Amino acid sequence: MKDVFADMKFWKKPAWEGGKVHTGFATYVDEIWDDIKQLFFKHGVRPNGKTKRVYTTGHSLGAAAATIAASRLGTFARGCFTYGSPRAGNKKFTQTIKCPVWRFRNQRDLVTRVPLALMGFKHIGKFCYIDGDHNLRIGAVKFVRLFKDAVASVFNKVVADGFVDHSMSDYIKYINECDTVHKKEK
């Protein structure tokens, strides 16, 4: 329920590095930021005193948190992988992220569509789309493919497949399938 309450605080507040972020997501990161910093300084500093660069990752609320953490970590972030991520901030906020971001979306995952773009929220990163045939498409996805998956959803026997497609177990399963097929092709 705590995650649901964080999701409902969709108004924007200033982000640390610039732009504006979803209040609920930023508050969630604020609550765990001291733990993140402690882990970073415990494991992120090499014996020679140089700092390691880290990856951030998460699913759903965790994906939004990973995006905000990547912004806060600045040049210490090496990359960010998100799965089923809602939009975390506005365009100016997305420009504060210095590392590459890979944004995975499983077919009709509803969480990836909130908060609404009409409210000024933007996605960030390379779009990695798991289509209705469970193929991983990276980069621009043709509208025809998205439309085909949406139409298939209407005739699907699974009720609320937009929520079913949000399952982390499906993300793992389909990405593993794509990886297996890719290895066989080599």
Q: Which residues are catalytic?
A: 60, 109
- pLDDT higher at 10 or 119: 119
- Contact (Cβ atoms closer than 8 angstroms) between residue 124 and residue 67: yes
Domain spanning 2-185, CATH class: alpha beta
pLDDT of residue 134: 82
**Domain boundaries in the chain?**
2-185
Sheet strand arrangement including 54-59: 54-59, 77-83, 101-106, 126-130, 136-138
- The 8-class DSSP code of residue 73 comes to H
pLDDT score at 72: 95
Residue 73 pLDDT grade (very low, low, confident, very high; cuts 50, 70, 90): very high
Cα distance between residue 59 and residue 119, in whole Å: 22
With a pLDDT cut of 70, the percent of the chain lying above it is 78
Residue 143: the pLDDT is: 72
Q: What is the mean pLDDT of the chain?
A: 83
pLDDT tens track for 25-72: 999 999 999 998 888 878 776 667 677 888 999 999 999 999 999 999
18 within 8 A of 95, measured Cβ to Cβ:
yes
Residue 13, pLDDT score: 92
Residue 145 and residue 153 in contact, taking contact as beta carbons nearer than 8 Å: no
